Amino acid sequence: MKSMSEKVEHSPKMQTLYELVAELTDLSHIMAVLGWDQQVVMPPGGAEERGLQLAALGKIMHQKFATDEVGQLIADLEAEVGDLYAETDEARSVKVSKKTYEKQAKVPLRLLMENIQATTMAHEAWVKAKAASDFSIFQPHLEKIVDLRKQYADLFKPYDHIYDPLLDDFEPGMKTADVREIFEKLRPQQVALLQEIAKKEPADNAFIKQHYKDEYQELFGRFVISRFGYDWTRGRLDVAPHPFTTEFGLGDVRITTRYLKEDAGSALFGTMHESGHAMYGQGVPEKYKRHPLGGSASLAIHESQSRLWENIVGRSKEFWSFFYPSFQMLFPDYLANVSLSDFYRGINRVEPSYIRVEADEATYNLHIMLRLEIEIGLMEGTIEVADLPEIWNSKMEDYLGITPPNDAKGVLQDVHWSGGMIGYFPTYALGNLASVQLWDKLLEENPNVPDEIAQGKFDTILGWMREHVHQYGSKYEPQEIMLKATGSKLTPEPYIAYLRKKYSEIYDL
Ligand code: CO
């Protein structure tokens, strides 16, 4: 009802901004449809022209938004609404739009186009390099990308740190110094925990490293996320080589998963993970449809939602006490002789591994920390791209005590850098931390939640996230969300305590 009255009260200039953002939102959702098609159904022959189509749309959006008229409109609106930190939707819409405008208007079209071209070629080179496990194929492309990212960061001088403008694109308001401070507290604790676990007998997880029948995996995935509260009237599930969630609007938030021959855990936990992202998108209120506040707070807050459903819920004892009997019945060939407690231990096995996306909860953040150090080094110029394979391997040894056998399992494993996404990785670890910090508050207010999970009931959890996170869309920055929801900014202590408690029990530490 409030949104109805707000509509009537908009000034003509505010109305102009809302209409412009509505149109840009439509265009970005069209791009999302093309991107989904590219990853889910497009034949390989479509790649080149699809790249051009996406670039054409990107150019149109830039030309519509990064104009002097829009700059003037936003300046006028800033004077009209006054304090940009006031908590009205109008003030926050102007604040969010101003920030986006300042970023886009600073970037010359030449740099934008050069970036699209460089990342398109780099992606192809990365695919080849990874298949051949040969970093030298990717090296010149990554050098170009690092150079372009430095040019981009320099547009935002003065900054405290050259990495700040990159980080801010994914985690609004977060500074390099903040992340370093959090990681410095986290690292010794995670390393110590890992060393204690390493002395114990590893849990057996051979039963999950199998090729479960795809159709049954899909059936179970759908069953679980339906229970979580994923809305199928506004979503669908498809198969893609690299699982992701995408939004074509509030009414169409899709997820993808993959069924691996060698690991049934991939789809099992991946589907829960993506459903967490998607339920966030589905939880943004109707009043923010085609609206400046219709997005999310940040990637870390997004990842807090996916990690919560995948790990805190999906790898919990209570969850499996409810779901294991049906899961076991679907896959008797692998599970008939595996008890619930052995299953629980197996899916929570801790083991230093080469690949980030397969890492367990106790080692995951260490993969992120080494990437952050490398990215900062690349941007500062203290690390040369040519030295990356060697630096990568020595940091893996430092953090996890293992050395990748080749570049494909080392420095080439992730797609992010080929897409120019430097500054993205820290959000994964920050999301892990946020997930537990939010969870602790939820539990404090709802101590019955573990019992509810054991009965297959998840509405208290989803309801709490709707109220404290989803309903705000992109109105608040991540630290504001954390402060409002939990009473404190993002901090590593709850996550450390969670890991210690969980693994002390499993490994009898
Ligand atoms: Co995710």
Q: How far is the CA of 186 from the centre of ligand 1 (A)?
A: 20
Query: Residues with catalytic annotation?
Result: 274
Residues 6+ apart with CB under 8 A from 497: none
- Cα 210 to middle of ligand 1, angstroms: 24
Closest CA to 352 of 304, 397, 300: 397
Q: Rounded CA gap, 186 and 376, in Å? A: 18
User: Whose CA is closest to 478, among 439, 433, 443, 444?
Assistant: 433
Ion ligand 1, residue ranges at CB < 5 A = 306
- Contacting residues for 246 by C-beta, under 8 A, at least 6 apart: 32, 35, 36, 253, 254
Burial 445-462 (b: 16+ CB within 10 A, else e): eeeebeebbbebebeebb
> What was the pLDDT predicted at 116?
86
Using an 8 Å Cβ cutoff, are 441 and 467 in contact?
no
The pair of three-digit structure tokens given for residue 19, joined into one six-digit string: 């209409």
Interatomic CA distance for residues 378 and 146, integer angstroms: 7
Distance 39 CA to ligand 1 centre (A): 16
Model pLDDT, residue 5: 46
Determine the straight-line distance between the first and last CA of the chain, rounded to whole angstroms. 54
333 Cα to the center of ligand 1, angstroms: 31
Q: Residue 2: its pLDDT value, please?
A: 45
Selection from 113, 109, 116 nearest residue 66 by Cα: 109
pLDDT at 422: 98
Give 138: exposed, middle or buried? Use CB within 10 Å, 0-12, 13-18, 19+.
buried
Query: According to the model, what pLDDT value does residue 224 have?
Result: 98
If you measure from the C-alpha of residue 157 to the centroid of ligand 1, how many angstroms do you get, rounded to a whole number?
Answer: 31
Q: Which residues contact 251 (CB under 8 A, 6 or more apart)?
A: 234
pLDDT of the chain along its 509 residues, tens only? 444 444 557 899 999 999 999 999 999 999 999 999 998 999 989 988 988 899 899 999 999 999 999 999 999 999 999 898 899 999 999 999 999 999 999 999 899 889 988 998 898 899 999 999 999 999 999 999 999 999 999 999 999 999 999 999 999 999 999 999 999 999 999 999 999 999 999 899 999 999 999 999 999 999 999 999 999 999 999 999 889 999 999 999 999 999 999 999 999 999 999 999 999 999 999 999 999 999 999 999 999 999 999 999 999 999 999 999 999 999 999 999 999 999 999 999 999 999 998 899 999 999 999 999 999 999 999 999 999 999 999 999 999 999 999 999 999 999 999 999 999 999 999 999 999 999 999 999 999 999 999 999 999 999 999 999 999 999 999 999 999 999 999 999 999 999 999 999 999 99
Ordered by where they begin, the domains of the chain are 12-106 (1.20.58), 176-507 (1.10.1370.30)
Q: What's the 368 CA to ligand 1 centre distance in angstroms?
A: 14
Q: How far is the CA of 19 from the centre of ligand 1 (A)?
A: 31
